[in-house]
Structure 1
Amino acid sequence: MANWYHYAAALALAASPSFGAIAQETSAPDTTANSEQVVLEADYVYELRDENSIVAEGNVEALYDGRILRADRLVYNRTTERVRATGNVVIIDTDGSQQFSDEVEVGSNLSDGYAIGYSARLTDGSTIVANSAIRQSDGINAMDQVIYTACPICEAKGQTPTWSLRARRAVLDQETQMISYRDAVLEVMGIPVFYFPYLAHPDPTSDRRSGLMIPSAGFSSKLGAFYQQPYYWAISDSSDLTIAPLITENVNPMLELDYRKRFYSGAININTSITREKDFDSDGQKFGEEKWRGHLYGSGRFALTEEWQWGFGVETQTDDLYDRRYDIDGQGDKRGIYQSQPRRLLSQLYAVGQGDSYYTDVSLLSIQGLRGSDADGSLPTVTPLLFSEKYWDLGDYGFASVNASTAILRRDVGDDSQRVSVGADWSTYKILPGGFTFEPFAELRGDYYQLDQRGIEDDNASRLVGNAGTRIAYPMIRPGKTVDIMLEPEVMAAWGTSNSNDPIIPNEDALLFEMDETVLFDANTVAGYDLYEGDGKISAGLTARAVWKDGPELSATVGRRWRSRPDPSFEKVTNLDGTTSDWVAAATADFGKALRIDTRVRLDQDGLELNRIDTRLSTQSSRWRATGQYYKISERLNPNQEEDEGFFMTGEFRITERYSFIYGQLRDIANDRNARKDFGIAYEDDCSRLELVYSRTELQDRTQGPSENIQIRFSLKTLGQFGSSDFD
């Protein structure tokens, strides 16, 4: 909309002293002319001496400084030094935007002029129409009876644009780069929807500007009627602040702030809110003490050198249900080198260094629990957590590395622990005669623990653990005309230290792990340091892959592990509890966008009963896109001794060219309930998208839930999201 005033620049011929260089239709443009000259072509060119004017008629085309003007007639008055173009006036600017008018007049100084019956098609595809457009010498540009839309307009079809903005008057201030409207009406499908006595926004060609953003309003069973009005403050070229006060019917106002800033070496992002209110449930009923409440989510990362960076992540809130009461997003986002678990807030301060032959990270961690079972002070503070590794390429002798790690855990409630570990690894890779691959390896690690455990006299523990062994594989390939087939049987055999797991050592970092196909051929399959897999073990597996020339690909891995003796430190869920593991397998069928299926299974060692399955499917075509996931865990692996089963599905099916059906469901089959269910309709064209979605969840977290809502979202091209309402 802002580019309408370029017509004046395109008519710079009026100010050019070289205007007398007028060519007849048969003349070729003078490409040697300097940028101040005008190249003019027309069917007829003549002079009106009485009026001291030059007239060009018939297919007039003027070229000046990369801009083109076309018209039926053009008149240049030498006395007034003004140019008037009439009849099908078209101006093509250097950026490709096109402007149309019935009549255009501009002065020689290019600082003032007008256009009658003005319209323009901008580079982003949007269109603006006005009865008249006036450019003043002070940089104020005004249009009367304005219509603006980003929807494509086809006069032949006579279609009404999906949305348009009508205004009695629009003014562009070139100095402030702001566009303001008087008596503006937003029309959807030709029907007036919103009226604005005054509306203003930055010129689309301008830099970031401060101002009001699109508000959100609606009704919620928790908050009642609510209205949130964001204000964007462009503080500087490198920083901004969004201020969004929330006014509600049932509870006190809440203020939300979002601050961003870039530095020469990094950036920070802070999101926070504050209010003074009591607790309230999903029905808006208040209880408890009125006090200050809020949240703070933030992150930052900065470069110290080319190889070293430092950063921080902050996650905290005054109440464990605060984010659910006010529907605050962001819990679970990664804000550093570590990511929090669901319903746990993780704050971290860290430094990371990585070079050609080393890696180091060190961090301070603090965890806040949001689950109902989390006791205050029971989650640890880690001061610090460190890992560092240095490695060497030994040429024909393989690769070697040394590493060090430490973890110091402090609790207000519960036991403290401190660990220091130092280790070394070596491996090499050889190809034997016949095509066998041979990969011997060895690892050794020493751990020292200083513990603070009640009822235990000796609060120190140390151990030396290690493994040595080899991996042998025989990769085979059979090329074909239509499909290539690859098979690779592999065996890993290793012997490690016995009695590696002292009962006095607490398990802090290996609470959730499982031996599956991803670590089947590792000597020590345990993630973390507190548990270690020693003793003798053998793993055997087979990987198969088929790749068709026209694209489809199938792959699968299946295997099993045998141990020399059972270790009571490993529970059944780890798949290391006995001397023989369950069968583990993974398979992928990839047919491109049309279909992809990924499946992982664990079959019981006795009878091949299904202990675990996790299948993910994705598909996409011109009419639909969908993603689904199914999981099932038998009661033998579930700590609750109950079977867990469910599926997740989300997708969109296009019914017609414009209308789509939206569906999503997270189903808890074991408990016969919908953790979440969504369905709705969507309308989309080249300039807008409208969604109407109904959602319901049957989950309940203390005073929050179950709940349901209807969400309406209307997005306009070039104007953004115009509104959103929630009804719980």
Structure 2
Amino acid sequence: MRDRHSPKAGALRLKLMAGAALVGLPLILSAGVASAQDAPRVTVQEDDGLTPEAVYVEADAAQRDADLVTAQGAAESRVFARFRQHNLRAEAFTYDLKTGIATASGQVELISPDGVVVNASQLELDNQLRTGIAVDLATRTPDGATLMAATAVRRSENVSELNRVLFIPCPVCEDDPDRKPALSFQAEKAVQDEELRAILYRNVVIRLGGVPVFYTPVLAHPDPSVDRASGFLIPRVDYDRARGISAEVPYLHVVSPSEDWLFNPRFNFKVPPFLNLQWRRRFNDGTVVARGGYTYARNFGDFDQDGDGKAESNVAFGDRTHRSYILAHGEFDLPGPWRWGFTAERVSDKTLFDRYDVEDPYQDNGLYYGDRRRLISQLYTERQTERSYLSVAAFSIQSLRVAQFNDITPALNIFESDNSLPLVAPIVDARWEPEGSVLGGRLRLMGSAVALTRGEYSGNPAQRPEAVGVEELLGVDSRRITGQLEWRRVMTSAIGIRYEPFVDLRADFYSVSDVNVLLGAEDDFISRGRALAGVDVSYPLFRPVGTNGSLILEPMAQLSVSNQVRTSRFIPNEDSQTLELDHITLFRTDRFPGYDLMEGGLRFTAGGRVTYNWDGNRSASLFVGRSVRDTDNDDFLTPVPDDVSQLYDPSGLAGRASDWVVQGTFDPSDRMRGWFHAVADKDGNFRRAEATISGDWGRRNSGALSYILDRSNPVPGEFNRNYEFVQLAAQQFVYRNWGMTVRGIADLERNEITRSEVGVLFDDDCFRFEIGWRRDNTRVRPTGPSEGIFFRLNLATFGGTGYDRSEFR
């Protein structure tokens, strides 16, 4: 039998059922067919030992006459036959071994390898397992969808016809067979033309709860065996106070099986239209995806026109000009160990994505990722084998972050300057491990190199303008080469104590330029090195508790010693600005990310985890740890943004004793889960904290509550980026399939709700529909607060509208 995903030789599911399964709205149909990312179901077929020409039969009476096999049974003891990985039961069965034609009658049930079940009173299959004739047809797919037809007839080589068709895309309620399905599609006739690769319908009726809500005399859409087909996708309608009512009408144009275009114009009531465009192309060894958008319009934003301190009017300002964006990426896997790729991400206006509500503009593609509200364009290549790795790349960044908020007029926010971000070209990373052990352990050699070019001051403490009495300074350009050797060996004593001695040798070479001459240097060459040795020790202990519980204690410690390393004030801190202390980073040799900050000296780190398990899958754990060092390190201090005369420690590692790290999980039942992480100073004050608890009750009720806190900056002010947020998401069903949803993010630092929505939902096995009200009050929106009605629709079998654009996290 040919592959069942072939357009010309699909299994019964493709040829007879899947087409009629789309007897729905034309736009829904097009959306289902147009998706190029739906992977075909992979089925592992049972090896029954039968050849493709063979048939296995169990029956009350069976005989073979030349190539014709016949079998007879009764209503209570039907014939069982197996052929071509299919199982069939019927009261009467014939199979022609030469032609491969099978016929069956009387309570026929056919089960295909992928789980599709076909029932009929009479069924005839050709040698490719396609239906020739079927009477009283009923099929059921593994996902619960049901198709029924009075008759199905193959009129010619390319044309099949179904009469009096009914399709239900969700499971039929067996406990209440008289209950009307929430969603059903009915057609007088469905015709599949394989040559046109299309399905045509006559007199289509869509019913909700058995009530007809839509009728069309004719309907056509591509054959489901077509992976993608040109046509309109689901339109989208929304409302924003600045744009007014907006409507998107996407159209997919398929060039070939490996290439397509998506035209997605957005028509706005108050501002000019905006055209979104996407191109995708698959090559023999890679893929390219490019998105872009364009409009010719004025800017528009939120202004306080009457001076009362409230921005109440969205107005257009400035001259019309070209506004656009591009978001593209590609990746190519070459034969052998090499691959290469690129990203190209740029936008003409820093607020374009916000003004026009561009969908999902910040994505992780390529070797290096941009972060929230930063776009990255890069070119890279990689080489990877079992023992080595090499990457060479170059990239630049465009920032869309707000550096200074204007609470009265969000359209006049001041953004982070792109010139303060470096051009990175090149950046090289290499690793190599010899085959086999070295002195009983694992040896790894590593190398890194980078060149950074920056146009203006970026916050380096040695270069801050306030420190040298000027308003503007050039950014420091730097080049770095690093070589590192790491050796580690794992040993376990007879009583179970685990020892891991390690050695780490590292050397850095910096060349910096554009250093402020008032600090005594214009260009400089800096070198530093560190030789470190230490040992990790852990001793996990296990004790059963009761009949179905256990207690696990995991004390762990690390002792390391190295020469003292002092960071030159001329080395810009580019890659070690952000450190998240947790139970993993606390025990790392280099706890700072990147290379610019380095620890040395005598250091002792200790921690422990206790885990209690009970009732099989219930557990709770707690980790507490801290690190101490022989001396303080002022290199880890940085100026307070709002008072550069003061220094503070954002990392928690500048003092002799580090911050406390506390982390835990709790799963008290299979319906509740929780996690928390906190970093506290020596006085027990939380500097950072995050906690999440989620649960579900009943059959479909669920909720999640999250809390996040940052109190690293000790001085309040305009540039203080401390924050405190609470996030909630929940759904509660009130009556049968009807319920309520609520989502929200509250900014406790500013005492306001930044995003919120509340809605009504209907959810059953056929579809899920939500409608409600939402508001976006984030300060970065140039058009001010946005509020309006939202709706989301997800259909069983078909997928969803993609209408959820909220940024809840």
TM-score by length of 1: 0.81
Residue in structure 2 matching 1:633, options 707, 710, 716 = 710
Residue in structure 1 matching 2:560, options 470, 488, 494 = 494
> In the alignment, is residue 703 of structure 1 matched against residue 788 of structure 2?
no
Residues 188 and 251 (structure 1), Cα distance of their counterparts in 2 relative to 1, 3 Å cut: farther
Quick one: distance in 1 between partners of 2:557 and 2:804? 59
Contact 1:212–1:229 (CA under 8 A) maintained in structure 2: yes
Corresponding position of 2:506: 445
Quick one: distance in 2 between partners of 1:111 and 1:137? 12
Deviation at 1:596, TM superposition (A): 2.5
Residues 280 and 144 (structure 1), Cα distance of their counterparts in 2 relative to 1, 3 Å cut: farther
Corresponding position of 2:765: 686
Deviation at 1:29, TM superposition (A): 2.7
Corresponding position of 1:405: 448
Deviation at 1:436, TM superposition (A): 4.1
Q: Deviations over 1:50-106 (max 9, x none)?
A: xxxxxxxxx9745345755436xxxxxxxxxxxxxxxxx9785868554658x9999
Corresponding position of 1:30: 63
Residues 40 and 228 (structure 1), Cα distance of their counterparts in 2 relative to 1, 3 Å cut: farther
Corresponding position of 1:353: 383
Contact 1:586–1:599 (CA under 8 A) maintained in structure 2: yes
Residue in structure 1 matching 2:350, options 297, 320, 324 = 320
Contact 1:170–1:180 (CA under 8 A) maintained in structure 2: yes
Q: Percent of aligned positions with the same letter in both sequences?
A: 28
SS at match of 1:309: strand
Corresponding position of 1:619: 695
Corresponding position of 1:385: 427
> In the alignment, is residue 121 of structure 1 matched against residue 119 of structure 2?
no
Q: Deviations over 1:123-143 (max 9, x none)?
A: 465455668777544744556
> In the alignment, is residue 504 of structure 1 matched against residue 570 of structure 2?
yes
Instruction: Summarize the alignment of residues 190-589 of structure 1 with structure 2, pairs less than 5 Å apart.
Output: 190-196=210-216, 198-281=218-301, 285-372=315-402, 373-392=415-434, 393-413=436-456, 414-431=475-492, 435-456=496-517, 457-480=521-544, 482=546, 483-548=549-614, 550-571=616-637, 572-589=649-666
Contact 1:441–1:469 (CA under 8 A) maintained in structure 2: yes
Residues 31 and 154 (structure 1), Cα distance of their counterparts in 2 relative to 1, 3 Å cut: farther
Corresponding position of 2:737: 658
SS at match of 2:746: strand
Q: Deviations over 1:468-501 (max 9, x none)?
A: 2322525142432543333343332333333520
Q: Which moved more, 1:262-271 or 1:561-570?
A: 262-271
Q: Which moved more, 1:153-162 or 1:465-474?
A: 153-162
SS at match of 1:569: helix
SS at match of 2:371: coil
Quick one: distance in 1 between partners of 2:119 and 2:368? 54
Quick one: distance in 2 between partners of 1:242 and 1:398? 54
Contact 1:515–1:526 (CA under 8 A) maintained in structure 2: no
> In the alignment, is residue 187 of structure 1 matched against residue 207 of structure 2?
yes
Residues 675 and 62 (structure 1), Cα distance of their counterparts in 2 relative to 1, 3 Å cut: same
Quick one: distance in 2 between partners of 1:590 and 1:115? 53
Deviation at 1:2, TM superposition (A): 7.5
SS at match of 2:63: coil
Quick one: distance in 1 between partners of 2:557 and 2:132? 84
Contact 1:461–1:505 (CA under 8 A) maintained in structure 2: no
TM-score by length of 2: 0.74
Residues 706 and 555 (structure 1), Cα distance of their counterparts in 2 relative to 1, 3 Å cut: same
Residues 209 and 114 (structure 1), Cα distance of their counterparts in 2 relative to 1, 3 Å cut: same
Q: What amino acid sits opposite 1:338 in the alignment?
A: Y
Contact 1:692–1:713 (CA under 8 A) maintained in structure 2: yes
Q: Deviations over 1:593-636 (max 9, x none)?
A: 4222222222221x323333211223245343333221223365
Corresponding position of 1:10: none
Residue in structure 2 matching 1:609, options 659, 667, 685 = 685
Q: Deviations over 1:643-687 (max 9, x none)?
A: 632222223334455234322221111211112122223222222
Quick one: distance in 2 between partners of 1:330 and 1:397? 49
Contact 1:659–1:682 (CA under 8 A) maintained in structure 2: yes
SS at match of 2:636: coil
SS at match of 1:281: strand
Q: Which moved more, 1:708-717 or 1:630-639?
A: 630-639
Q: What amino acid sits opposite 2:362 in the alignment?
A: G
SS at match of 1:29: strand
Q: Deviations over 1:690-721 (max 9, x none)?
A: 12232222212252331123222223334444
Corresponding position of 1:20: none
Corresponding position of 2:82: none
SS at match of 2:353: helix
Deviation at 1:121, TM superposition (A): 3.1
Corresponding position of 1:70: 105
Deviation at 1:390, TM superposition (A): 1.7
Identify the structure with bigger relative contact order (alpha carbons < 8 Å, sequence gap 6+).
2
> In the alignment, is residue 150 of structure 1 matched against residue 169 of structure 2?
yes
Q: Deviations over 1:411-465 (max 9, x none)?
A: 3443322212222223333345765443333322222222222423341232222
Corresponding position of 1:171: 191
SS at match of 2:452: strand
Residues 228 and 329 (structure 1), Cα distance of their counterparts in 2 relative to 1, 3 Å cut: closer
Deviation at 1:515, TM superposition (A): 4.0
Alignment gaps of 5+ in structure 1: 7-25, 44-58, 72-88
Quick one: distance in 2 between partners of 1:305 and 1:501? 43
Contact 1:363–1:384 (CA under 8 A) maintained in structure 2: yes
SS at match of 1:701: coil
Contact 1:599–1:615 (CA under 8 A) maintained in structure 2: yes
Bigger strand share = 1
Contact 1:67–1:91 (CA under 8 A) maintained in structure 2: no
Residues 267 and 259 (structure 1), Cα distance of their counterparts in 2 relative to 1, 3 Å cut: same
Residues 288 and 182 (structure 1), Cα distance of their counterparts in 2 relative to 1, 3 Å cut: farther
Number of equivalenced pairs: 670
Corresponding position of 1:77: none
Contact 1:67–1:94 (CA under 8 A) maintained in structure 2: no
Contact 1:514–1:573 (CA under 8 A) maintained in structure 2: no
Quick one: distance in 1 between partners of 2:804 and 2:555? 57
Q: Which moved more, 1:629-638 or 1:578-587?
A: 629-638
Q: What amino acid sits opposite 2:441 in the alignment?
A: G
Q: Deviations over 1:570-609 (max 9, x none)?
A: 121211222222222212223464222222222221x323
Quick one: distance in 2 between partners of 1:219 and 1:67? 57
Deviation at 1:561, TM superposition (A): 1.9
Quick one: distance in 1 between partners of 2:130 and 2:379? 57
Considering only aligned residues, what root-mean-square deviation do their CA atoms show, in Å?
Answer: 3.8
Q: Deviations over 1:295-320 (max 9, x none)?
A: 22222222224433222223222221
Quick one: distance in 2 between partners of 1:186 and 1:400? 67
Contact 2:17–2:139 (CA under 8 A) maintained in structure 1: no
Contact 1:495–1:536 (CA under 8 A) maintained in structure 2: yes
Q: Which moved more, 1:400-409 or 1:197-206?
A: 197-206
